[in-house]
Amino acid sequence: MISCEPVASLIEAFSKLPGIGPKSAQRLAYYLLRRPDEE
């Protein structure tokens, strides 16, 4: 898994959203990193 400060900051930002826990925030962050650039 990718683990660096920018990714950790993104996960922290997502987890501050209402209804988004740490695990969901991690999934969202890694989804954004893995998606193709065309989307």
pLDDT in tens, 15-32: 999 999 999 999 999 999
CATH class, 5-34 region: mainly alpha
Instruction: Write the CA distances from 18 to 3, 14, 21, 25, 35, integer angstroms.
Output: 24, 9, 8, 11, 24
Q: What are the sequence ranges of the domains in the chain?
A: 5-34
Q: Give residue 5's pLDDT band: very low, low, confident or very high (50, 70, 90).
A: very high
In this structure, which amino acid lies at residue 9?
Answer: S
Q: Token pair for residue 36?
A: 């193709």
Residue for token digits 């999934």?
27
Helix axes 5-15 and 22-34, enclosed angle (nearest 10): 130
